[in-house]
Structure 1
Amino acid sequence: MELMKQIWEMAQQDRKKIVLPEGDEERTLVASQKITEIGLAHVILVGNTAKIKEKAQKLGVNLEGVTIEDPETSGKLQGYINGFYELRKSKGMTLEKAEKIVRDPLYFGTMMVKMDDADGMVSGAIHTTGDLLRPGLQIIKTAPGVSVVSSFFIMMVPGSKYGEEGMLLFSDCAVNPNPTADQLAAIAIATADTARNLCKVEPRVAMLSFSTMGSADHELVEKVRKATEKAKELRPDLMIDGEMQLDAAIVEKVASQKAPNSNVAGKANVLIFPDLQAGNIGYKLVQRFANAEAIGPVCQGFAKPINDLSRGCSSDDIVSVVALTAVQAQTIKNS
């Protein structure tokens, strides 16, 4: 779609080094060739060199232009071990423990990003979100002024009139199980900034609930209400409103009845879900019932871009997330 074409073009203009720690995974290898041929990024695969080359040969994948970093033979290993030890020694880390941990491809790849040997990392084809977040939070940590790491999906719904001609951002669908009101406010602000900086659209953020503007009274509704107030207080420049039901957020006719005074209701393009259950169920429903393309989950809030994949992802999904990660890296470098 038009957005991904735009993101590809941005990635091609300033190619970043993106590390893929699942180096011998089949979809990752296929994606690496595509990414390199298209010129979206300089790909760095982490893993056993012989195993990666053998698997690539079996798949008919051309790794010309792709860098392979084997933790066991890399000249960078000792520097990463020392760096990780320094970062974690106050938490009880020893050099002996660090030597074992950093040999893990996910930790090795994260240290590459930390030490500026790579601009970003993408993982998750065979690892869980927790596997990715653990080294990310220990090593990269959150960006200045950001209190919580969260995730978003770019949902592209063919033929839809909702959002930006069928494009909406859903958050948080992968990271925070039950965010507090303050965390929910931070997630809303981060996703609004993502819409502006990455998707190049003016965000209209709806804080979702089963209530619209006081139609129901419950502690779950109160959390969303408080989060809305907090987000507005922190960022008065953003269009954020709530609490509101999904139909009031995206359907103008419903919005005119339920929230006639809202500048967001009926035309929201960023949907903030009250918890992970709602967000995860919501994006999967839209993906399956509306045949939508779900790009992500993409993380936001890290000091440097580290992004997750669904374990059911295709090689094309990996290409898309690498392109997004490259553009995030451009944004961080230019900020």
Structure 2
Amino acid sequence: MKNFIEKFKLFLQKKSSSLVKTIVFPEGNNVKIIESAFICSQLNISRCILLGDKQHIHSIATKKKIVIDKNIIIINPDNIRDRYAQNLFYMRKDKDIKSYQEALNLLDNNVILSLMMLNQNDVDGVVAGIEHTTADIIRPTFKLIQNNCVNSFVSSVFLMLFSDQVLIYGDCAINQYPDSKTLAQIAIQSAKTAHSIGILPKIAMLSYSTGDSGSGDSVCKVREAVNIVKNTQSDLLIDGPMQYDAAVSLQVARIKLPNSQVAGQATVLIFPDLNSGNITYKAVQRSSNIISIGPILQGLRKPVNDLSRGATIEDIVYTTAMTVIQSL
């Protein structure tokens, strides 16, 4: 178990360290963030910018016996907010910001400040959410990073590090009630993420029914999504609808979908809605005590990733590694 997981973590470390990128953490005063930045620096995963109070951060570092080296830069956000106010005002003046002062006031929010740093290419990615809700991260990201993008679509995945494999779960954080076209887009984006980390995507479109054994609107939606992907991305291995056990168990797959190239060996599992996806990933993570990296956001113009407020230091470190990899 440990050997496989360590090999995958080492793969993420090596790939991210080869890219030499800078990631900003708007919640830089947080103890977990400080410890994670130290590990990222030690492993050469990224250069880290902590937005926060220098004295506070150094105090925590001393207590935790952490060295703030040259790869960890502490910036007092009060000293840089005005650098970004003009551009923020210009970006949103025809939408929801009416004055320069209003833009400057909005930059009191370190998440918004970090997104503007990313927008202006001062950093390569943003990792946030240890003290904020997903909505606190996603809403300004859509406004500032996806600003004026044509036909942009964003979804999310979790990397679930099991004892002998990594499974990709999507979408467990963004799209609440996806229709068949949305499910197809989630599947395609998730396959791209799988490729980026060396995993051959075998996509299982999940449902409460396997093959032709059941019916209903939800099953039809999943079936239509499979057909859309097959018609637009014929190179992808995809099958469904199928139940979770048929997706991951060869023994069950031989009974329920014996002719499938995906069943029993799926690496990418697409849930029919946010409710089932979010519940499943949390249930599996907590009951199996596995590392869960994410949510990793897909489809953004520049990489921003949202941490669960219950994220461990290890979760943060490898979410940072994924953010670096996405910055290519």
Q: Same fold (TM over 0.5)?
A: yes
In the TM superposition, what is the alpha-carbon distance from 1:249 to its structure 2 partner? 1.3
Contact 1:147 1:186 in 2 (8 A): no
Aligned equivalents of 1:143 and 1:157: distance in 2?
39
- 1:109-258 matches, within 5 Å, as 109-141=114-146, 147-158=152-163, 165-197=164-196, 199-258=197-256
Matched, 1:73 2:79: yes
Matched, 1:97 2:96: no
In the TM superposition, what is the alpha-carbon distance from 1:177 to its structure 2 partner? 1.8
Contact 1:33 1:61 in 2 (8 A): yes
In the TM superposition, what is the alpha-carbon distance from 1:261 to its structure 2 partner? 2.9
In the TM superposition, what is the alpha-carbon distance from 1:10 to its structure 2 partner? 1.1
In angstroms, what is the RMSD of aligned CA positions?
1.8
Q: Deviations over 1:245-294 (max 9, x none)?
A: 11111222322232233221121110001111111111122223333221
Change (3 A) 1:15 1:146: farther
In the TM superposition, what is the alpha-carbon distance from 1:170 to its structure 2 partner? 0.6
Q: Deviations over 1:24-61 (max 9, x none)?
A: 00111111111112211010011233433344344443
For 1:9, which of 14, 34, 37 is the aligned residue?
A: 14
The one-letter code of the counterpart of 1:81 is A
Contact 1:152 1:298 in 2 (8 A): yes
Q: Deviations over 1:82-132 (max 9, x none)?
A: 111122122131222211112211011111111110000101111111111
In the TM superposition, what is the alpha-carbon distance from 1:295 to its structure 2 partner? 1.5
For 2:30, which of 1, 14, 25 is the aligned residue?
A: 25
The one-letter code of the counterpart of 1:193 is K
Aligned equivalents of 1:55 and 1:307: distance in 2?
24
Deviates more, 1:173-182 or 1:254-263: 254-263
Matched with 1:314 is 312
The one-letter code of the counterpart of 1:241 is D
The one-letter code of the counterpart of 1:185 is A
Change (3 A) 1:146 1:4: farther
Aligned equivalents of 2:65 and 2:38: distance in 1?
10
SS at match of 2:78: coil
Aligned equivalents of 1:56 and 1:103: distance in 2?
25
Aligned equivalents of 2:148 and 2:23: distance in 1?
19
Aligned equivalents of 1:308 and 1:123: distance in 2?
5
Which ranges of structure 1 fall in alignment gaps of 5 or more residues?
Answer: 159-164, 331-335
SS at match of 1:289: helix
Contact 2:291 2:315 in 1 (8 A): no
In the TM superposition, what is the alpha-carbon distance from 1:81 to its structure 2 partner? 1.1
In the TM superposition, what is the alpha-carbon distance from 1:142 to its structure 2 partner? 7.9
In the TM superposition, what is the alpha-carbon distance from 1:241 to its structure 2 partner? 1.3
Change (3 A) 1:316 1:146: farther
Matched with 1:162 is none
Which ranges of structure 2 fall in alignment gaps of 5 or more residues?
Answer: none
Q: Percent identity?
A: 38
Change (3 A) 1:167 1:281: same
Matched with 1:333 is none
Aligned length: 321
Aligned equivalents of 1:47 and 1:122: distance in 2?
14
Contact 1:157 1:291 in 2 (8 A): no
The one-letter code of the counterpart of 2:116 is M
Matched with 2:324 is 326
